[in-house]
């Protein structure tokens, strides 16, 4: 699938998360578990966060908290995702093309030097636009 990648610089992200028990089978339960804790989904920034840990994919659903008070009140685990340079591809009408997500991440990994310690991100910009973000390796010291 042809895609157009751009390089973007992301800030560090602090997310409230729910870990999928397995990948990909546990994704729906992880999303349901996260979203059901929120009073509203409107205006929130949602992320899928993943990387390989050994031969398995570790996958977290995440949302940016509105405040420290929300983190305390909901009692969800939090994680910090290091910002920096990422290769970004946009997937439009993503609910009808979820089968393309892995393929696009594979192409980003092939086309760009990936940071093996970073987290790949799915940023759900809207109900129709998904940004797939691959962390880039920095220059060698």
Q: Where are the domains of the chain?
A: 5-135
Q: Where are the beta strands (DSSP E) in the chain?
A: 5-10, 13-19, 46-53, 56-63, 78-81, 84-92, 120-124, 129-135
> How far apart, in whole angstroms, are the C-alpha atoms of residue 70 and residue 84?
26
Is 62 exposed, middle or buried, given 0-12, 13-18 or 19+ CB atoms closer than 10 A? Answer: buried
pLDDT of residue 49: 98
Closest Cα partner for 113 from 86, 131, 90? 86
- Region 112-135: mean pLDDT is 95
pLDDT tens for residues 39-91? 999 999 999 999 999 899 999 999 999 999 999 999 999 999 999 999 999 99
> How far apart, in whole angstroms, are the C-alpha atoms of residue 131 and residue 106?
14
Q: Which residue has the tokens 């809207």?
A: 126
pLDDT of residue 2: 62
- Whether domain 5-135 has CATH 3.30.1490.20: the reply is no
Mean pLDDT (the chain) is 94
pLDDT of residue 115: 94
pLDDT of 13 over the 90 cut: yes
**Whole-model pTM?**
0.92
pLDDT of 141 over the 60 cut: no
C-beta of residue 35 within 8 angstroms of C-beta of residue 41: yes
pLDDT of 137 over the 90 cut: yes
């Amino acid at each position: 699938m042809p895609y157009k990648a751009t390089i973007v610089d992301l800030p560090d992200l602090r997310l409230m998360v729910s870990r999928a028990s397995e990948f990909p089978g546990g994704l729906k339960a992880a999303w349901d578990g996260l979203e059901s804790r929120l009073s509203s989904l409107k205006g929130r920034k949602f992320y899928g966060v993943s990387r390989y840990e050994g031969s398995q994919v570790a996958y977290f659903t995440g949302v940016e908290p509105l405040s420290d008070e929300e983190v305390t009140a909901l009692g969800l685990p939090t994680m910090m995702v290091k910002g920096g340079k990422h290769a970004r591809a946009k997937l439009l009408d993503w609910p009808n093309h979820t089968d393309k997500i892995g393929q696009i991440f594979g192409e980003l990994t092939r086309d760009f030097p990936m940071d093996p310690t970073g987290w790949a991100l799915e940023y759900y910009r809207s109900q129709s636009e998904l940004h797939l973000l691959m962390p880039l390796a920095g220059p060698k010291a």
